[in-house]
Structures are given as C-alpha cells and as structure tokens.
Structure 1
Amino acid sequence: MTTELYVYYKVAPAQARAIKAVLQAWPQVRLLRRAGEPETWMEIHTGPDAEASVQALAALLAPHITGPRHVERFEPVVLTAP
C-alpha cells in the first residue's frame, strides 16, 4: 500500500516567494493553502519517494517557515471484502 504524507506549516507572507521557488523544483509535490487562512500551507507527497521528499524539503524550507512542520501519514482504505 502506498502511504500519502500530508505536511502542513505556517508561512509568513514575506517568505512565500522563497518557498514557492523551492517547491517549483519538486513538481511531484502538490501544494495547497488553507481556505480562509492563507498562511497555512500543505504539501501532499505520494509515491515511493514520499518519505525522502518530505525530509529533503524539511531541510530546504526550514529557514523560510514559521514554527514546526507537521507530518501526517494516511493509507488507503480497502473497500472490497477480504
């Protein structure tokens, strides 16, 4: 089963451009922001390299985000009976 990783964190408006520049080099990562709260951003990582991309981006983005990165892992639910 493929695990999906959801990573969210706070972004100061002055850092948004720098973060976008870093993430442009990671087209496999989806980037969202919370509706009504534009300073909360979320990355969605999928596929076999998801863990590695989360860790690599943590190091690259650390100087640009406010506070910690929160990582949550989700797995698919099998809908067919065993």
Structure 2
Amino acid sequence: MENDVTTIVLNDEDGKEVEFDVITKMDIEDKEYVIVAPKDEENVDEAIALRIDIDEEGNEILATVEDEDEFAMVEEAYETLFSDSQLN
C-alpha cells in the first residue's frame, strides 16, 4: 500500500522545528482546516487542528484554532469523518 501522507514542518513554542503528518484537510463553513499529528507519533490523541488563513500578501498561513466553539465544530467534523471510515 502506498503512503500518501503529506508532511509539514512547524516551529514549536521554543522555535524548534517539528515535523507533522497531515492527517486530513476539511472544508467547514467556508474555512479550510488541517488536522496534523507529530511525525512518527503512534498516538493520534496528539493531533492538532489548524485553520488555513490568508495573509496580506495572499499566502496561506496556518493558525491554531483557539475559539472553543470553532474547535468543537472542527472536532465534531473530524470525528464524523473518521468514525465512518474506521472499523473497530
């Protein structure tokens, strides 16, 4: 089986580069989000939701989802998406 996982590099709070695997990208209410997890991390509880915003120059930037209602909406969409595709 071919591995089509996209990897991105982000800086943590200390400015250290950390590689993340992009788990999925979702469109919710005219906004785009990505769910990422630290590369080589087996525990998906470490997943992070990021919103894709556009800066003044028109470049895509990633922003953490800090609003509780927005985060709950992304979390619900993620759980719905993966609960249908995962068989336990």
Query: In proportion to residue count, which structure has more strand?
Result: 2
- Tell me if TM exceeds 0.5: no
TM-score band (shorter)? 0.3 to 0.5
- What TM-score comes out, normalization by structure 2 length? 0.33
Query: In proportion to residue count, which structure has more helix?
Result: 1
- Bigger relative contact order, structure 1 or 2, given CA contacts below 8 A and separation 6+? 1
